[in-house]
Structure 1
């Protein structure tokens, strides 16, 4: 049993809340659940003290109908200036490049992720086909014969692709290489791919005007999270809490 300014949080409530807080072990999940319920109770109590409407029952995971009104009333949150946005843009240019474009052809040797035998066989065949390609055999011909991808009907061509159009494990490898035949098979959830990159067009730095609102939204949210964390810290310090020892420096809310 935890007491928060004379309000009780039961063990049953903590156990029910644990489903929303996955952790490495049961104790860690219980601590996270208890912390969440304590903070929720403190916010609810403060909202009631200010006369704000609090409709949810205590100790529910979705008890947030009053939160925006409370934060707007109690927390001063500055907004990012254009100068701050421009500075962030100058200091983080890598965040604001358009995706490179790749002109890609491939051969997919399909193998289910759980079929170890099929995956070993697919990798072995992929290595053999790469050797054939290095010796001059045409990829289009091999694609029509071996590929399990519909692109085999166009000689293995995937056309031009940018980031986000393929599965992450495939994308990570092909966007970090230079044009030409990749010397090793590329593994994905679908099997093994033999990949030829015909052309690579580097991404371009987007103009500030195109990303200004995105930067402002990011900076404003970052400041809001910090301000809310500090506000919660103040509520905890001023509260009488029994049955739970807050370690503020370890709490993700305090980061």
Structure 2
């Protein structure tokens, strides 16, 4: 039985709440559910103490409304200044650039992720094909002979590629490469790729004026979440809670 300042939270309420808190185990789901109900009860009690709109059952007439009123009255939430927005823009400029554009050809040497033997063989073959290409062999000819990708019909050409068009493990290495034949094969879930980057057009940085509003919204929401978490932490520390230990639960609110 959990009590929050002498108010009981029945086990049936915790079990009913579990559907909203998926977790790897039933115990973790129960802990998350109990924590959510305790915090909700603390907020209701505090709102009632301050005279905010609460119905006769102790529940908010509109939880979002009362919570916003409670936070407005109890929590000071600063907003991001233009200087802070500009600093974030400078430090994270890569987030505000359009994707580079690559013109790519490849040879896919297929191997299933769980077939260790096939992946070793694909890696070895990739090394051999790279060596042949370095000595003057034509990628288009080798692609038609060895590639398991439909692009073999066009000599291995993938055309122009921007971010988000390929699988992440392939993209990470591809977009960090410079034009030319990559000296090693790129491993992906599909096997190993022998890759030639014919051309690379860098992305364009968006002007600060175009992203200032989004940066401000992001920073303001980040500060708001932190301020709310600190406020809830204060309510927990000052409350009498029996039957639940936030420290033992590993809640980030208590860290």
1:131 maps to what in 2?
131
Change (3 A) 1:135 1:52: farther
Q: What is the TM-score of this pair, normalised by structure 2?
A: 0.81
Q: What is the TM-score of this pair, normalised by structure 1?
A: 0.81
Cα offset for 1:53?
Answer: 6.4
What is the rounded CA distance, in whole Å, between the counterparts of 1:178 and 1:50 in structure 2?
61
Change (3 A) 1:28 1:3: same
29-38 or 168-177, larger mean C-alpha shift = 29-38
Q: 1:54·1:66 contact (CA, 8 Å) conserved in 2?
A: no
Change (3 A) 1:92 1:115: closer
1:230 maps to what in 2?
230
What is the rounded CA distance, in whole Å, between the counterparts of 2:139 and 2:10 in structure 1?
66
Q: 1:144·1:152 contact (CA, 8 Å) conserved in 2?
A: yes
> Residue 8 of structure 2 aligns to a residue in which SS?
strand
Task: Tell me the number of residue pairs that the alignment of Structure 1 and Structure 2 aligns.
Answer: 247
2:207 maps to what in 1?
207
Query: Equivalent residues in 2 for 1:1-255 (5 A)?
Result: 1-10=1-10, 14=14, 17=18, 20=21, 22=23, 31-46=31-46, 50-52=52-54, 66-76=62-72, 77-247=77-247, 251-253=251-253
> Residue 246 of structure 2 aligns to a residue in which SS?
coil
Cα offset for 1:92?
Answer: 3.4
Change (3 A) 1:177 1:69: same
Q: Deviations over 1:3-26 (max 9, x none)?
A: 112333355655673983646x87
Cα offset for 1:162?
Answer: 1.9
Unaligned runs of 5+ in 1: 59-63
What is the rounded CA distance, in whole Å, between the counterparts of 1:19 and 1:52 in structure 2?
23
Cα offset for 1:29?
Answer: 6.0
Cα offset for 1:242?
Answer: 0.9
Cα offset for 1:106?
Answer: 0.7
Unaligned runs of 5+ in 2: none
> Residue 38 of structure 2 aligns to a residue in which SS?
helix
Q: Deviations over 1:113-165 (max 9, x none)?
A: 12223222222222222222122111111112221222222211112212222
What is the rounded CA distance, in whole Å, between the counterparts of 1:157 and 1:133 in structure 2?
15
Q: Give me the CA root mean square deviation.
A: 3.2
> Residue 247 of structure 1 aligns to a residue in which SS?
helix
